[in-house]
């Protein structure tokens, strides 16, 4: 999904048909007509009186009741020192990951799992390989790692083809470890979730790999050592 700024530009011509008494259904109808490819998940009054919050995939934006203005950015509760937009987005991300399903990911699980972290990975990414080389350390901390593919070079690239071959291997976990260690795998194709993983990564704002998504939906871009990640997860739990 492209930037909401671009969406706003595309929707600009249609905003004028909002009435001053615009409600959720009117907003939904107008956005659906002017931008049919935009999947609207919810429309509801925002915490600021007079604005409506629109959730579309992993994006949140706000519109004025007369339809003249669209606001993109963070809504902050100053007194509580709380980022209300990020709080809502975290829930959206968590739900999106959950909807993927464990059968559509490659999972490394400790004997006793305390936490689960979803990782968007690129087989040829240096820090992704570093993270994977320390898998035993993550497992020792009770962290389940569930992988989704995000080959940064895009569909049809060497990294993309490696991801497909890993998924189509008889033993995906072993094949992924071998691929990350630089071993050349037998090229294979089959029905796979790589494209779906990439689309989700883009919707969640992935700009690089690894990108870690906690169970809460919070995002940590980049490599995080096992001990440090464990402390983050402990703090979240408390």
Active site residues per annotation = 122, 125, 128, 152
Tokens 């990911």 sit at which residue?
Answer: 105
* b/e code 113-122 from CB counts within 10 Å (16+ = b): eebbbbbbbb
Tokens 């094949």 sit at which residue?
Answer: 175
Q: Long-range contacts: 17-25, Cβ < 8 Å, 24+? A: 17/67, 18/63, 18/65, 18/66, 18/67, 18/68, 19/66, 19/67, 20/65, 20/66, 21/65, 22/52, 22/65, 22/66, 22/67, 24/52
Q: How many CA atoms lie within 13 A of 225 on its CB side?
A: 2
- Residue 177, Cβ neighbours under 10 Å: how many? 17
């Amino acid at each position: 999904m492209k930037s909401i700024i671009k969406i706003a530009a595309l929707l600009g011509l249609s905003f004028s048909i909002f009435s001053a008494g615009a409600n959720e259904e009117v907003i939904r109808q107008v956005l659906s007509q002017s931008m049919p490819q935009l999947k609207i998940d919810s429309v509801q009054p925002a915490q600021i009186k007079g604005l409506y919050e629109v959730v579309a995939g992993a994006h949140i934006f706000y519109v004025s009741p007369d339809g003249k203005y669209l606001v993109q950015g963070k809504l902050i509760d100053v007194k509580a020192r709380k980022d209300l937009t990020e709080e809502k987005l975290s829930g959206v991300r968590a739900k999106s990951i959950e909807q993927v399903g464990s059968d559509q990911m490659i999972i490394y699980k400790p004997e006793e799992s305390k936490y689960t972290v979803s990782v968007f990975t690129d087989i040829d990414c240096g820090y992704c390989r570093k993270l994977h080389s320390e898998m035993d350390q993550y497992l020792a901390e009770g962290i389940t790692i569930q992988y989704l593919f995000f080959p940064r070079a895009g569909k049809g690239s060497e990294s993309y083809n490696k991801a497909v071959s890993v998924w189509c291997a008889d033993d995906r976990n072993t094949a992924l470890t071998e691929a990350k260690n630089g071993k050349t795998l037998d090229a294979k194709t089959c029905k796979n979730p790589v494209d779906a993983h990439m689309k989700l990564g883009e919707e969640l704002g992935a700009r690089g790999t690894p990108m870690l998504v906690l169970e809460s939906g919070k995002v940590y871009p980049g490599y995080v050592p096992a001990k440090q990640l464990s402390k983050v997860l402990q703090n979240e739990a408390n």
